[in-house]
């Protein structure tokens, strides 16, 4: 749908501008995708139509026993191993890809981690 295509284009332009015109720019050597050669709406739309597809990317920041599992980077409270005061709460925390639509699993995990944060803040 055109409305979805327009939203994707707006997001890419926004993120490109944010990164290039912020303190983050010193950490960016080059733009991997869509690439700095894409400069017009028409070029970006063509790139999106050719290369963008939808999926549920997940399992990139595994939750688990961070002492025993070398692949686990988060504990059961969503806390990042070795970093204070940083938590992750999204679909990346799952150790395995859910075999069904992941929406409710993500909401449940986020509610649990939010409860942990609230409990810790009270003490």
pLDDT in tens, 84-117: 999 999 999 999 887 778 889 999 999 999 999 9
Same domain for 88 and 116?
yes
Same domain for 67 and 117?
yes
Catalytic annotation, pick one of 56, 81, 112, 120: 56
Question: Among 30, 51, 72, which residue terminates a domain?
Answer: 51
Domain residues for the domain of 64 are 55-123
Give the model confidence (pLDDT) of 31-46 as tens digits. 999 999 999 999 999 9
Other Cβ atoms within 10 Å of 2 Cβ, number? 7
Number of domains in the chain: 2
Same domain for 117 and 71?
yes
pTM summary value? 0.55
Active site residue 55: no
Same domain for 64 and 118?
yes
């Amino acid at each position: 749908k055109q409305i979805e295509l327009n939203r994707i284009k707006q997001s890419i332009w926004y993120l490109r501008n944010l990164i290039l015109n912020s303190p983050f720019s010193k950490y960016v050597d080059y733009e991997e995708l869509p690439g700095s050669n894409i400069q017009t709406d028409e070029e970006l739309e063509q790139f999106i139509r050719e290369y963008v597809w939808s999926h549920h990317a997940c399992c990139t920041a595994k939750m688990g026993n961070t002492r025993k599992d070398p692949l686990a980077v988060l504990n059961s409270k969503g806390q990042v191993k070795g970093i204070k005061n940083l938590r992750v709460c999204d679909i990346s925390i799952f150790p395995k890809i859910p075999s069904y639509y992941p929406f409710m699993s993500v909401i449940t995990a986020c509610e649990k981690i939010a409860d942990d944060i609230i409990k810790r803040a009270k003490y």
